Amino acid sequence: GWKDAISTTIINFNNEKMQITWAARELFPSENVSFSYTFAEGKNKVWKPCPTYLLDQDYNSGCLFKTEGPTLAISIRNSNGSEELFSKTLKSDFYIKPNRPENVTFFWKADTVTVSCNKPERGVKCLTLELQYKSKFDKDWQSRTSKCCSVGEQGFDPRKCYSFRVRLKRLVPFCNVVNYSSDWAAETFWMNGTLLDSCDDDIKSHSKTVTVLSCLLAVLLVMPILLILLCKWQRLRKSVMPAIPDPKYIFADLFNDHNGNFQEWIDRTDHAMVQTKLEYEEPECIIEAESQQEDEKNCDKQEPQEKIFSFSRAAENNDPKAAQIACLMPTSNTIASFAGFQVLMNDDMYVML
């Protein structure tokens, strides 16, 4: 009875290759067993030795051979084959493990994803297609199963990156006695219908966006502070270092209309408001008894030596239109004073001081 209790693992890879394994070190610790099999039925069985052994610490722990029919008989014997230690007859079709899905395609429409793959050549009715997915915010995989070979799911957020994987499963117990599934197809990463290399790219792009927005917000917050500081600095500078008036702006018409030609400016000014003060000293006349009449004539003929013109207070208040000269005496030394400037005029020469 202990022969029937030996545990073996039987896998029929897509009905193409069989793999039988056993716990060699636990079941047969003292010897290296041999394995044989046959797909023939009836009395005329032809046993075939194992073509490829699977080893566990140099002990035979399994056999790999080609699938040749639906009914399989196996036998495990001692090292020289004289004694049978275990035997079993089974249906190889009940132990099929399908291959992984081929040519997997994704179809996106709004928030719905439909995944499909190529149909296997045989056993399609016994297969289902399982879809698993999760976003970067999910800890566990979400699963959806449908008949082979298309499965759809809805409710996907276009702002999230999702990982997808699919596999084929055999129906139990109608087709398999063991719940075998294929290996997972290559995992893919999608975001709003766009295939990505990894969801890490989405995380990096999201972090870059956050960084850019943070920098822009910081700049927007700093700019008003800088403007306030600049205004305060301008006020402080004006109070500590008042601006020196520029004659270019006080006498705009002198520099703009006459290019600084003082004589031309004076000659063409028609609306001057000038307050003139003429100061001169009469020569002291010494009258003698002998030449009183001659000296009086000389005194009457002598002209003023100096004339001083001063502008009205409007000119001192930087009023460019009021600070203009009405006239000058061309035959004497004249000094005109306006807005802190002095002009000495002697004959045809004008000197601004």
Q: Which of residues 217 and 99 earns the better pLDDT score? A: 99
Question: Is the pLDDT score of 311 beyond 50?
Answer: no
Question: Is the pLDDT score of 289 beyond 50?
Answer: no
Q: Which of residues 295 and 255 earns the better pLDDT score? A: 255
Inter-residue contact 182 to 100 (CB < 8 Å): yes
Percent with pLDDT over 70 in the chain: 65
Model confidence at 280, pLDDT cuts 50, 70, 90, reads very low
For tokens 């209309």, the residue is 257
Tens of pLDDT, residues 13-63: 999 999 999 988 888 888 889 999 999 887 778 899 999 999 988 889 999
Q: Indicate yes or no: pTM above 0.85.
A: no
Question: Is the pLDDT score of 335 beyond 70?
Answer: no
Q: Who's near 347: CB < 8 A, 6+ residues apart?
A: 330, 331
Name the nearest CA neighbour of 264 among 200, 340, 325.
Answer: 325
Model confidence at 270, pLDDT cuts 50, 70, 90, reads low
The CATH homologous superfamily for domain 99-196 is: Immunoglobulins (2.60.40.10)
Tens of pLDDT, residues 80-125: 888 888 889 999 999 999 999 999 999 999 889 999 999 988 889 9
Model confidence at 66, pLDDT cuts 50, 70, 90, reads very high
What is the pLDDT, as a whole number, of residue 338? 45
Token pair, residue 346, equals 């002697």
What is the pLDDT, as a whole number, of residue 81? 82
What is the pLDDT, as a whole number, of residue 177? 92
Percent with pLDDT over 90 in the chain: 33
Q: Which of 177-186, 197-206, 210-219 has the highest mean pLDDT?
A: 177-186
What is the pLDDT, as a whole number, of residue 340? 45
- Give the mean pLDDT of 198-205: 64
In CATH terms, the fold of domain 8-96 is: Immunoglobulin-like (2.60.40)
Determine the 3-state secondary structure of 55 from DSSP: strand
8-96 and 99-196 share one fold: yes
Question: Is the pLDDT score of 163 beyond 70?
Answer: yes
What is the pLDDT, as a whole number, of residue 267? 73
- Give the mean pLDDT of 182-195: 91
Inter-residue contact 153 to 111 (CB < 8 Å): no
Give, in order, the Cα–Cα distances in Å from 281 to each of 130, 224, 249, 292, 302.
Answer: 122, 65, 37, 21, 11
Query: Which sequence spans correspond to the domains of the chain?
Result: 8-96, 99-196
Q: Who's near 234: CB < 8 A, 6+ residues apart?
A: none
